Amino acid sequence: MFLLLVVGFGNFAFAQYDDELVVLETNLGNIVIDFFPNDAPNHVENFIGLAESGFYDGTLFHRIIPGFMIQGGDPNTINGDPNTWGTGGPTTRVDAEFNTIEHNRGIVSMARSADPNSGGSQFFIVHGDSNFLDEQYTVFGRIVTEESFETLDKIAGVKTEPVDRPVDPEQVKITKATIVNRSDVPDILVLEEPERTQSAVTPSTGNQMYESAEHEIGFSVPEGWLLQNPDKVEENSPDVVAVGPKIGFMNPVISLLVLDTNQRSLDDIISEKTEAIQPVIESGNLKIILQEKTMLNGNNVYVTEAEGTFFTNDEEFNVKFKEVMIYDSDKFYTLAYSNGLDDFDAQLPRFEETIDSFEILSQDISSDTSDAEGGGCLIATATFGTEFAPQVQQLREIRDNSLLTTKSGIAFMSGFNQIYYSFSPAIADLERENPIFKEIVRVAITPMLSTLSILNFVEINSEAEMLSYGIGIVLMNVGMYFVAPAIIIYKIRK
């Protein structure tokens, strides 16, 4: 399903589009939309073209959340099954044009699925400031008359079902969308330039990275999901929560819980968890689908899948869960995903991406540190919180997926680890104690990380190729760190 949002207004005129506006006629009043073609030219052209063709005539504002937004533009709402509302649109799509305009009251923005480049016809008008959507959805216009804001409030105030659909669809129908000239709208408000975020917008990557210095972990969550660090009200409260766009009766949620092992083994923790949920299972409200031990990036992992039945306001809801517990020597990290039973599979690949991206930043780039003593990996410690952290994760993946799949790679890593961990923990401790020393180490290893990044652009399909690339990179680093300095020193002395 799709998600939608708006900006505040002030006291002087501002318009990017000189002539054409769109008037949406509804049974509760008219909504006049002005546009920002300098910020989102393709979206403006798309919206005006759809309005001019009559695409929006007869569609509904099918998703209404007071204090947040009203969403419309789905052709399925004309005569389709209400369960399909929010999933329809034209056959063509509009690539994202994320910009710096804030999602404040009155802003018109393009709805989309988890894919940033999936804009079609569905749009939303922000009812209450929703700045957590800034730079994640394409703002392309705003409403510009007093009647428009009154109509927005009336639509936001209609009675809705638990899934945010209007009880009386006729109230919120767009009877007609019309293209008009600016001069034909005499009551346009005097508005100031829309508020903007302070940061430059970067191209969409399809996810957003999260790193915690406190827990020394990093992972990605789907782009556009609301990422929060809720207050820790009790020990088992999640440390991080990412909330996705609502599709069915609930929002999909990915959460992370970090707890100390307190010298307990993974089996001890599993036993405690099993004992805690046993009463819920016996009551019939929770059904275990899968429980298994596995490995992830060198860490022991326990995976649980379950379905549960919950009651809210005398209504019954079926919810599905997947929980991945990642065990380290000092802490264990529980990543969990929950969604409505019918919508669970739709967002499951996004959760799998989060799991695959999860890294314990204090662990070694070339080996898991559960067996390592002391301060851990000097490379991970030096790059933690810098632009090199994602690169270190990529190198870790290359190690697991390419290097450790060959005999020569395994042999090399075995010898490398013995040498590397003879000094790495001590240096890592010094990095934590002295920020200047950490920066010196980071600068020193930057050339090495750059050469290793070459492996991101090659395919290793045989033992011979592994040896070839590996020896080449080793020789390159020997040249940079030893031969070149030796030649320079020799020439200076001579």
Coil, strand or helix at 210: strand
**For position 2, what pLDDT does the model report?**
35
Q: Left (φ > 0), alpha (ψ -120 to 50) or beta: where does 376 sit? A: left
More confident residue, 215 or 322: 322
If you average pLDDT over residues 94-122, what whole number do you get? 90
**For position 10, what pLDDT does the model report?**
31
User: Residue 245 and residue 3: Cα distance in Å, rounded?
Assistant: 6
Q: Of 29-38, 144-153, 206-215, 278-287, which range is least confident? A: 206-215
pLDDT at 4 over 60: no
Coil, strand or helix at 155: helix
**For position 397, what pLDDT does the model report?**
58
**For position 367, what pLDDT does the model report?**
41
CB-based contact 350:359 (threshold 8 Å) = no
How close are the terminal C-alpha atoms of the chain, in Å? 71
If you average pLDDT over residues 71-80, what whole number do you get? 94
User: Residue 353 and residue 220: Cα distance in Å, rounded?
Assistant: 7
If you average pLDDT over residues 425-434, what whole number do you get? 77
Coil, strand or helix at 184: helix
User: Residue 165 and residue 145: Cα distance in Å, rounded?
Assistant: 26
If you average pLDDT over residues 290-307, what whole number do you get? 85
**For position 391, what pLDDT does the model report?**
65
Closest CA to 396 of 465, 449, 473: 449
CB-based contact 255:241 (threshold 8 Å) = yes
Match domain 20-184 to its CATH number in 2.120.10.30, 2.160.20.70, 2.40.100.10, 3.10.180.10: 2.40.100.10
> Any idea which residue has 């307990």 for tokens?
264
State the burial class of residue 168 (Cβ atoms within 10 Å of its Cβ: 0-12, 13-18, 19+): exposed
- Write out the two tokens for 40: 């989102």
Closest CA to 98 of 203, 240, 170, 207: 203
If you average pLDDT over residues 335-362, what whole number do you get? 85
Q: How confident is the model at residue 203 (pLDDT cuts 50, 70, 90)?
A: very low
- Write out the two tokens for 485: 């300095």
CATH 3.40.50.2300 fits 207-360, yes or no: no
More confident residue, 201 or 59: 59
CB neighbour list of residue 271: distance below 8 Å, 6 or more residues apart: none
Furthest-apart CA atoms within the chain: distance in Å = 90
More confident residue, 466 or 263: 263
More confident residue, 389 or 15: 389
Q: Which range among 78-92, 165-179, 343-357 has the greatest average pLDDT?
A: 165-179
What pLDDT, in 10s, does the model give residues 363-372? 544 444 333 3
Q: How confident is the model at residue 353 (pLDDT cuts 50, 70, 90)?
A: confident
User: Residue 494 and residue 481: Cα distance in Å, rounded?
Assistant: 20
State the burial class of residue 61 (Cβ atoms within 10 Å of its Cβ: 0-12, 13-18, 19+): buried
If you average pLDDT over residues 278-292, what whole number do you get? 88
- Write out the two tokens for 154: 């009336």
Q: Which range among 226-240, 294-308, 353-367, 457-471 has the greatest average pLDDT?
A: 294-308
Residue % of the chain over a pLDDT of 70: 80
**For position 220, what pLDDT does the model report?**
84
**For position 75, what pLDDT does the model report?**
95
Domain limits of the chain?
A: 20-184, 207-360, 369-493
The rounded mean pLDDT for the chain is 81
Q: Of 341-345, 402-406, 464-468, which range is least confident? A: 402-406
Q: How confident is the model at residue 295 (pLDDT cuts 50, 70, 90)?
A: confident
Closest CA to 138 of 204, 225, 222: 204
Give the chain's radius of gyration (CA, Å). 27
What pLDDT, in 10s, does the model give residues 306-322? 998 877 656 777 899 99
For residue 362, give the H/E element and its range.
none
**For position 342, what pLDDT does the model report?**
84
If you average pLDDT over residues 116-133, what whole number do you get? 90
pLDDT at 456 over 70: no
Q: Is the pTM of this model over 0.85?
A: no
